[in-house]
Amino acid sequence: MNQHILSILYIIASVLFIIGLKMMGNAKTARKGNLLSAAGMILAIAGTILLHEGEVGNIVYVLILLAIIIGTIIGWTTARRVQMTKIPELVSMFNGMGGACAALISLIEFQHLFPFDHVPPGGSQGHSGTLICIISGLVIGSVSFAGSIIAFFKLNGVLDKPVRLPRYNYINLLILSVVAGISILLFYSASPITIYALLAIALLYGVMLVLPIGGADMPVVISLLNSFTGVAAAFGGFLYDNHVMLTGGILVGSAGTLLTVVMCKAMNRPIMQVIFGAFGTTASGS
């Protein structure tokens, strides 16, 4: 019974996300659209907690509520108090938090599947679908988190100059191939050390991806990382067969990607040049 009500709540929430996002594309209805999406989010969160079936320890409920209360107070006050000019960096920070959340989910789920003390016989056999979701969520979430934090510091003025290592595009390509290599390794031997190594190298890639990009291009980068987090959330949806996470995640993933392209066009900057910018011109530029 509860399960069916939850499914219907998820459908309503998904519809509210879509309508809300559509209304945000028009100056007259934008504010109402944002509130509609927020209402959808409250439905999805409240339903997930209240309609859960099965034994749950009291401490779990206490921790969930505590986390939500602390998060709401911090999120609300910072968003309300921050100066208007500092809003873009705040958006970047919140985006990073979502990415970190997706990465943490993957880590916990990995530990549920392959606990520290005993690796189940047969290793990762029969878990390949789950592993794909865990690895993708972890990598994309961590890249989005690390990238967003760097973007935050760039807009903040802490890292005001683009940092360009010589041949940084090749270095990044190398790091990305290490990410791919460790991911493939996980399918053969799923050990906790491997997953934490993957986490570390994915975080490094996120840092290295955003570090060379100049402050003026940050809005485009944040938009791109925003769609990354959307995709990471969608992989969480795959993992739990949870449709509201899938709709929300994919919606932001595709809308965010298109928005990135549109923003680049509006700024008259080709997207490839933003991301792989000073290809071969290490010393010149800004």
Partner 1 sequence: MEQIGNFLALLGENEQMLYFVILSIFVGIEVIGGVPTILHTPLMSGANAIHGVVIVGAIFVMLNTAANDYLSLTLGFFAVLLGTLNVVGGFVVTDRMLEMFKKK
Q: Which of 7, 12, 34, 163 binds partner 1 (CB under 8 A)?
A: 34
Report the C-alpha gap between 166 and 171 in whole angstroms. 9
Please say whether the beta carbons of 190 and 125 come within 8 A. no
Shortest separation between residue 282's beta carbon and partner 1, angstroms? 30
63 binds partner 1 (CB under 8 A): yes
Binding segment for partner 1 among 156-164, 201-209, 210-218, 246-254 (CB under 8 A)?
A: 246-254
Shortest separation between residue 179's beta carbon and partner 1, angstroms? 20
113 binds partner 1 (CB under 8 A): no
> At residue 112, what is the residue type?
H
Token pair in block for residue 213: 């990009």
Binding segment for partner 1 among 54-62, 149-157, 160-168, 271-279 (CB under 8 A)?
A: 54-62
- Residue whose C-alpha is closest to residue 142's, from 184, 189, 183: 183
Size of the site for partner 1 (CB under 8 A): 103
Please say whether the beta carbons of 215 and 248 come within 8 A. no
Report the C-alpha gap between 174 and 199 in whole angstroms. 16
Shortest separation between residue 168's beta carbon and partner 1, angstroms? 26
Shortest separation between residue 159's beta carbon and partner 1, angstroms? 21
DSSP 46-71: HHHHHT--S---HHHHHHHHHHHHHH
Judged by CB, which is closer to partner 1: 99, or 168? Answer: 99
Q: Which of 31, 196, 272, 279 binds partner 1 (CB under 8 A)?
A: 31
181, HSE (Cβ side, Cα atoms, 13 Å) = 8
Report the C-alpha gap between 251 and 243 in whole angstroms. 12
Binding segment for partner 1 among 67-75, 152-160, 204-212, 273-281 (CB under 8 A)?
A: 67-75
147 binds partner 1 (CB under 8 A): no
Binding segment for partner 1 among 150-158, 168-176, 193-201, 260-268 (CB under 8 A)?
A: 260-268
What is each CA distance from 247 to 11, 14, 202, in whole angstroms?
A: 9, 6, 25
Report the C-alpha gap between 16 and 7 in whole angstroms. 14
- Subset of 167-206 contacting partner 1 (CB under 8 A): none
Report the C-alpha gap between 283 and 286 in whole angstroms. 9
Judged by CB, which is closer to partner 1: 111, or 282? Answer: 111
- Subset of 203-242 contacting partner 1 (CB under 8 A): 219, 222-223, 226-227, 229-230, 232-234, 236-242
Report the C-alpha gap between 142 and 155 in whole angstroms. 20
Binding segment for partner 1 among 92-100, 149-157, 162-170, 269-277 (CB under 8 A)?
A: 92-100
Judged by CB, which is closer to partner 1: 214, or 243? Answer: 243
Please say whether the beta carbons of 149 and 204 come within 8 A. no
Judged by CB, which is closer to partner 1: 145, or 168? Answer: 145
Report the C-alpha gap between 241 and 243 in whole angstroms. 6
- Subset of 70-89 contacting partner 1 (CB under 8 A): 70-72, 74-76, 78-80, 82, 84, 87-88
